[in-house]
Amino acid sequence: MTIIKAVRGTRDLLPPETALWNRIEATARSVFARYNFGEIRTPVFEDTGLFARGVGEETDIISKEMYTWEDRARAQSEKTQSLTLRPENTAGVVRAYIEHGLGESGLLQKLYYIGPQFRRERPQKGRYRQFSQIGAEVIGPPSAGSESPLRDAEVLEMLATLLDELGITGWTLELNSVGSAADRARYNEVLRAALVPVAGQMCADCQRRAVTNPLRVLDCKVASDQPIIETLPKIVDSLDDASKAHFAQVLAALDAAQVPYTRNDRLVRGLDYYTRTTFEFTHGGLGAQNALLGGGRYDGLSDAIGGPRAPGIGFAMGEDRLVLTLQALETAAQTIKADAFIAPIGEGLNPAALALAHELRRAGLRIELGEGSFRLKKSFEAADKTARAIVILGEDELESGILTVKNFSTGMQTKVPRAELAVVLKGPSE
Ligand code: AMP
């Protein structure tokens, strides 16, 4: 029989790596809490129209990467509907914001999410078809201050804090402003005109983009197109005064908070809904897929999907890439060892060993439970691999309540009364 394997572009996460995933998520939750964000969980599939309208028909995500299917009606009362596994989470969060009238409070909504996203991309290291994003959005009516450049700077400063607390050193923040919707429209025309004489020498994708969505040309990675792209007009020259002032204030606040950044005129990002500030954090240790996270302001997204005016700013970090970066930096958690391995001597002591394990686990220790049919040598070998100490439980120990403990790091063997066992095994607090 053929063996069924995980689908291409998906993978299993196993211990000990999952401990690193959990640490990343715990750190993110802790940082988000300090900035007063709350968690939102939206469904992993949505009406296809949400992404078509929210992300933009001309993006790679929508045009070729979505997992979409016709969901057949199962009853007369239902309609067949086109559904899509979410390729990103911002559109879902904004849909939820609209659906639950979150803007009616008049307050800023500060929401974060952690969860899987799905894109039919060509799999490679750091790029998967199911991947996990940790993201956050700050969104609200303009009266709540949602358009303020302070919100942009605060989100960026929070990201710098999060990466630092995760132990990710050596990141780079690249920033740009793509202006208001009107600035972008103007720039698109400037770019369209500038592309007419040169598009013929560019890659097939760029030739198409030059007509349908000229801004996307700036995302092109094809080497031979780069010299041509360098000569194209820059978006900063198409920004109106309000957008220029907004960007200047974001930069001033970042300077005050000592968040280092570099400006990148070509950073327009893959999604259509961005306005004004766009940004990306990269890391040299990641190779070709070097983006740790990306984000930006999306002042028109809520309107685009039929909601009230609700400017916002957000980001999505690739959790898979955080894991890869930390592994490369070798700060990753080593295999976590149990506090102790309990070795019953003889199968008759298995129940007593379970009782002892129960007691110690209730006291907060991480315990590996051995097996009474093992010879002592085999128990020692298993214990040495999985735990920091071994506790031997024979008939004598059970009767006397005095247990034999060997600590593998010091090599010391001691006799410990059962009542003191938990404290001794926990060891000196660090
Ligand atoms: P985006 O939603 O395209 O702005 O992506 C935000 C971040 O998600 C990127 O910077 C990556 O870290 C991560 N990411 C995007 N696509 C993938 C993928 N296919 N596999 C792994 N991570 C991804």
With a pLDDT cut of 90, the percent of the chain lying above it is: 80
Dump pLDDT digits (tens) for 49-97: 999 888 777 677 887 899 999 999 888 888 999 999 999 999 999 999 9
Q: Residue 295 CA: which ligand 1 atom is closest?
A: 4
Q: Is the pLDDT assigned to residue 396 strictly greater than 70?
A: yes
Q: Is the pLDDT assigned to residue 272 strictly greater than 70?
A: no
pLDDT of residue 85: 97
**Predicted confidence band of residue 332 (pLDDT cuts 50, 70, 90):** very low
Q: Are 274 and 178 in contact, with CB atoms under 8 Å apart?
A: yes
Q: Which long-range contacts (CB under 8 A, 24 or more apart) does 332-337 make?
A: 332/20, 333/16, 333/19, 333/20, 333/23, 334/16, 335/16, 336/16, 336/19, 336/366, 337/386, 337/387, 337/388
Nearest CA to ligand 1 atom 3: 270
For residue 396, report the distance from its CA to the centre of ligand 1, in Å: 59
Nearest-10 Cα torsion for 118, 123, 126, 131? 20
For residue 119, report the distance from its CA to the centre of ligand 1, in Å: 9
Q: Residue 269 CA: which ligand 1 atom is closest?
A: 4
Nearest CA to ligand 1 atom 18: 127
Averaged pLDDT for residues 243-266: 96
pLDDT of residue 54: 80
Dump pLDDT digits (tens) for 86-143: 999 999 999 999 999 999 999 999 999 999 999 999 999 999 999 999 999 999 999 9
Q: Is the pLDDT assigned to residue 397 strictly greater than 90?
A: yes
Ligand 1 neighbours (beta carbon < 6 A): 88, 119, 121, 126-128, 131, 133, 270, 291-294, 316, 318, 320-321
For residue 60, report the distance from its CA to the centre of ligand 1, in Å: 13
Count other Cβ atoms within 10 Å, centred on residue 413. 12
Which of 51, 127, 173, 278 has the most ligand 1 atoms within 8 A of CB, as the residue to mutate? 127
Number of continuous H segments (helices) and E segments (strands) in the chain = 15, 16
Nearest CA to ligand 1 atom 10: 293
pLDDT of residue 335: 66
pTM of this prediction?
A: 0.87
Burial of residue 185 (CB within 10 Å: 0-12, 13-18, 19+) is exposed
For residue 59, report the distance from its CA to the centre of ligand 1, in Å: 14
Q: Residue 129 CA: which ligand 1 atom is closest?
A: 19
Averaged pLDDT for residues 293-317: 95
Nearest CA to ligand 1 atom 20: 127
Nearest CA to ligand 1 atom 1: 294
Q: Is the pLDDT assigned to residue 274 strictly greater than 70?
A: yes
For residue 366, report the distance from its CA to the centre of ligand 1, in Å: 35
